[in-house]
Chains A and B, each alone.
Chain A
Amino acid sequence: MTIFLSKLVQNNIKVFLVRNSDTQLFTVSYRNISILPNIYDGKEDPAPKFFSRNVQVLLKRLTRPDFAKVFRKRTSSGRDVLPTPIYKFLTNEALEAELAKANKKADRLLQMPPVVKIQQPINEILSEDPALIGYDTAKYLFTDITFGIANEHRLIVERDPDGTLRSCDHDVRKRLNQTYFPLNGRKLREPVMFTDEERFNTLLEQQEYEFVLDRACLQYEPDELTYQKITSITYQHIDMNKNFEKLRSTRHFGPMAFYITWHQNMDNLMLELLQSSAVREAVLLTALRHEIHGDVAEGDNAKILAHEILPTPIQLTKPDRLTEEDIQLDNKCVSCIEKYIVSNSMMKSQQELALQGFREYYQQLIELSRGLKKAHGTA
């Protein structure tokens, strides 16, 4: 819990304080947010963990994709007049095929931006030719623009006035790649929303998280320092304000969940899940923590339970009927969460309270569905 450092900010328009279970103090202000970015710059590389199949499956499930939101009407379509809808008469088989296609499209839309370690500076001297000293006062840059080479493997070198031939560093590589092979939407200069802190903070205050993260994905490479700083601040802002719902059904929820779990700060998300009665997802989150850190008490149990949960359909809304299997699974989930709260949680009292609330609500639901079954004579 050392992510957020307290820092008093002068000239705040409005200041509110958030007290955590630890005696840590967060100071947040409109327009002037003092969140310190916490980036993946430690010794351990997050990439192998992030890309491992188990983690990917958990993150995708935690995203809880709602197709109404994934395929929602977007303002960035670039159309001035919406085209007329197309209608088709389809048989059952054709409809299933179309839905399968749409699922694939959704997978593509929800593809998570990679989480990797920060890039190392390139400092490779290829040759030193003292004979060229004083040949020119300018630096020469050479780019191999052969078609079909990936940008990261492209040969880009510079000849300095002192005759040294060296590989270019990342910033120069990025600029030259963008010059010769422009990425649609990426700017040569950083957009003001990222360079001007006040504007960036305004966007966060307006909860335009998806916009910020989408644009960051477009403008920066995932291993760039700036990208990681921006995403880190955004994730922390979401976490502090519990705006997780804003990122659900988007491709950024997975990296966000991974980030907060990696930095051992997923208790806010856990609390939100318990308060919204999503115990199954809470178990998945525990399993995720165990996959990453392996420090959860009876974590293997959570992993086994996660395998049971994954084949069940995603619960977009609270269920109104329960089958006996559902009840069994949910009871297992509750006991798993209980153990997590006792041994690992940082917000024990609040989470216990939320879990207790869920238990009471669930008991009512069980009675209702059993009563209904009896009334219908299907029990």
Chain B
Amino acid sequence: MTMLSKLLSIRSIAAPINVFYKQINFPVNVIHNLTNFSTTSVKSVNFFNKLPAEKLWKSVTSVSNAGAKKGRGKGAGRIRIRDLNRGQVIGIGKINMLWPGLSAPVIRGRELLKQQRLPDDPERMEKLIKLRDSMTKFRRLRLSPIERGWSGARMPGRSIGPPDPIGEDEFTGFDTKVLQLRSLLIMKGNLGRTRNYQAMVVTGNGQGLAGFGLGRAKEASAALRKAKNRAGQKLMHFETYNGHTVFHDFYTAFGKTKIFVQKKNEGYGLKCHRAIKEICQAIGIKDLRAKLEGSNNLQHIVKAFFIGLLQQRTHQQLAEEKKLHLVEYKAENAYYPKVVASPSTVRTQDEILKDETLDFVQYVMNDRVILKKKRFPRFYETMPHYKIFLKKFERYRNHEKIRLMLKTEYGAVKSFLNDRYPEEKTESEA
């Protein structure tokens, strides 16, 4: 710290002023205390004024090669080089002097200006320190929250615009999202270990058209561009149910990755893996829940989800397969039976096999069942203080509702008793 504060006080004109003060003070001391006279020589030269700022800074900030390999000199505690000359002007210093010809004109009007001391500026040093601090502060992320991806300034989750137009065909209304960008290291006979970038992106217009692409290149940007354009070449069309969700629940898998997708009603949102969410947004699906089981390899997730979407059957297909009416019941419509699809020929009750799967969800899930994990009590729910809290809180449980009711009825939290006992009201107000 001491070194830093000394560094802060270094100024180009600081030395002469200090010398000037010493010269004035010295004779005064001598007159009053001659016994304290010292014969040791005083050196006015030290490494602060001998070495240039660049070297001084290097001595403070440098990290050894071995240290750098271990990651020293990075992160929060890092000392950064500051330009101490910034914000300083020749002729203006700690003592606020008017120097004609340097910090002020020689002639103002008809008057010849004289060298004189002006009142001190108390805020000058504060301003300088503030300016110096601003040089060392951590630089903020330049991305706006809207542009930001899943995490920080990293690429995954970020939008990279529509695929490049092919000839005159433009991808209007399309947007591409980066799902994965990673570096791959490969060994080469003559070059040794070389670094390649691999990118996986999904592109879509939010109205049913979407595709994903994988690109590899020496540079990250090239990999992204390749992936984006490849995605634009592999567009698929997906029908959505009422423009907001999938047609039915389904199970899909790729490799060791298993996905259980559930159809949801309007307003539910997308509750799934972030990659699945980006795919849904690219397609235009708004409500869905997806549960992931097994491996969470991102490329496998993407492939499995696309396969699952492609294997969906429309309501008409399902009705034809079963040769039965498909009827929809919605809670918001008081469970009114709405026939969504009817087959060309309907089977009778006798034609239905004894052990046939008639349950709709079971049928579309291919008899697979989503594992519902047992919900364990929260860590505090088993503790004694939680029971005490519940007991204490019980008497307040309806207060919020009653407060609202009183506000609608009286315009404030008061009751008919306030009118009957006005003195109570004044007491509570006071």
**One of A30-38, A50-58, A65-73, A254-262 at the interface:** A65-73
Cβ B348 vs Cβ A105 within 8 A: no
A82 touches B328 (CB 8 A): no
CB distance from A240 to the nearest CB of B (A): 31
- CB A82 to nearest CB in B, in angstroms, measures 4
State which residues 306-360 of B face A: CB under 8 Å: 319, 322, 324-337, 339-340, 346-349, 352, 358, 360
* A86 located at the interface, meaning its Cβ lies under 8 Å from any Cβ of chain B in the complex: yes
**Chain B nearest CB, measured from A244 CB (Å):** 24
User: Cβ of A88 and Cβ of B331 under 8 Å apart?
Assistant: no
In this assembly, does A90 line the interface, its C-beta being within 8 Å of a C-beta of chain B?
yes
Stretch at the interface among B125-133, B176-184, B261-269: B261-269
Contact of B331 among A83, A89, A101, A109 (CB under 8 A): A83
Q: In the complex, which of the residues B329, B331, B348 contacts A91, with contact meaning CB atoms closer than 8 Å?
A: B348
Q: Is B408 interfacial (CB 8 A cutoff)?
A: yes
- Determine the distance from Cα of A213 to Cα of B297 in the docked complex, in whole angstroms: 58
Least CB distance, B271 to chain A, in whole angstroms: 11
Q: Which of these, A83, A94, A189, contacts B409 with CB under 8 Å? A: A189
Q: How far is the CB of A281 from chain B (nearest CB, A)?
A: 24
A105-B360 Cα distance, complex, nearest whole Å:
24
> Closest Cβ of chain A: how far from B50's Cβ, in Å?
74
B358:A98 contact, CB within 8 angstroms: no
Q: Decide: B358 and A89 in contact? CB cutoff 8 A.
A: yes
Of A82, A95, A109, the contact of B327 (CB 8 Å cutoff): A95
Interface size on B, residues (CB 8 A): 37
Give bound CA distance, A86 to B328, whole Å.
Answer: 6
State the main secondary structure of chain A at its contact with B.
mixed
Instruction: Tell me the bound Cα distance from A73 to B332 in angstroms.
Output: 5
Partner of A92, one of B267, B325, B340, B352: B325
Q: A73-B332, A84-B264 are in contact. Are A92 and B348 (CB under 8 A)?
A: yes
Task: Check if A102 is an interface residue, CB within 8 A of chain B.
Answer: yes
A89 touching B328 by the CB < 8 A rule?
no
Tell me the nearest residue of chain B to A75, going by C-beta: B332
Q: Decide if A93 is an interface residue (CB 8 Å cutoff).
A: yes
* Cβ-based interface call for A19 (8 A): no
Interface presence of B300 (CB below 8 A): no
Given known A-B contacts A87-B248, A89-B324, A67 and B268 have beta carbons under 8 A apart: no
**Contacting pair B337 A99 (CB below 8 A):** yes
Beta-carbon contact of B409 and A88 below 8 Å: no
CB-CB < 8 A to A379: which residues of B? none
Q: Is A91 in contact with B349, judged by CB distance below 8 angstroms?
A: yes
- Which residues of chain B are near A74, meaning CB under 8 Å? 332
Please name all residues of chain B whose beta carbon is closer than 8 Å to the beta carbon of A84 when the two chains form the complex: 262-265, 268
Residues of A within 8 A of B409 (CB): 189, 192
Identify which of B346, B347, B349, B360 contacts A87 (C-beta below 8 A).
B360
Given contact pairs A82-B266, A87-B360, A89-B358, A77 touches B331 in the complex (Cβ within 8 A)? yes
Interface centre among B248, B265, B348 (most CB of A within 10 A): B265
Shortest distance from the beta carbon of B393 to any chain A beta carbon, whole Å? 22
Contacts of A313 in B (CB 8 A): none
Q: Are A90 and B325 in contact (CB under 8 A)?
A: yes
* Chain B, 261-301, CB within 8 A of any chain A CB: 262-268
**A82 touching B268, Cβ below 8 Å:** yes
Residues of A within 8 A of B347 (CB): 91
Give the distance in Å from the alpha carbon of A85 to the alpha carbon of B333 in the complex.
10
* Candidates B334, B339, B349; contact of A71 at CB < 8 Å: B334
| Alpha-carbon gap, A72 to B338, bound state (A) | 12
A85 CA / B329 CA spacing, docked (Å): 6
Q: A17 at the A/B interface (Cβ < 8 Å)?
A: no
| Contact residues, A242-286 vs B (CB, 8 A) | none
> Judging by beta carbons under 8 Å apart, are B352 and A95 in contact?
no
Residues in B with CB closer than 8 Å to A94 are 349
In the complex formed, the residue of B with least CB distance to A88 is B327
Q: Are A71 and B267 in contact (CB-based, < 8 A)?
A: no
Docked-complex contact B329 and A88, CB < 8 angstroms: yes
Q: Are A91 and B325 in contact (CB under 8 A)?
A: yes
Partner of A105, one of B262, B334, B363: B334
- Give CA–CA (A90, B327) in the complex, Å: 7
A79 beta carbon closer than 8 Å to chain B = yes
The residues of A that contact B333 with a CB separation of less than 8 Å are 71-73
Q: Who on chain B is nearest to A189 by CB? A: B409
Q: Taking each of A77, A89, A90, A93, which has the highest tally of chain B beta carbons within 10 Å of its own beta carbon?
A: A89
Chain B residues with CB under 8 Å of A72's CB are: 333
List residues of chain B with CB under 8 Å of any chain A CB.
248, 262-268, 319, 322, 324-337, 339-340, 346-349, 352, 358, 360-361, 363, 408-409
Beyond the given pairs A82-B331, A87-B327, A102-B337, 13 more chain A to chain B contacts, judged by CB atoms under 8 angstroms and listed by A's residue number, are: A67-B336, A81-B267, A84-B265, A85-B328, A86-B328, A88-B326, A88-B327, A88-B360, A89-B363, A90-B325, A93-B348, A189-B409, A192-B409
List 24 contacting pairs A-B, 8 Å CB cutoff, sorted by A. A67-B336, A72-B333, A77-B331, A79-B331, A81-B265, A82-B331, A83-B265, A84-B264, A86-B335, A87-B360, A88-B326, A88-B329, A89-B324, A89-B327, A90-B324, A90-B326, A92-B325, A93-B348, A94-B349, A95-B337, A98-B327, A101-B337, A102-B336, A192-B408
User: Closest 4 CB pairs between A and B?
Assistant: A71-B336, A82-B265, A87-B360, A89-B324
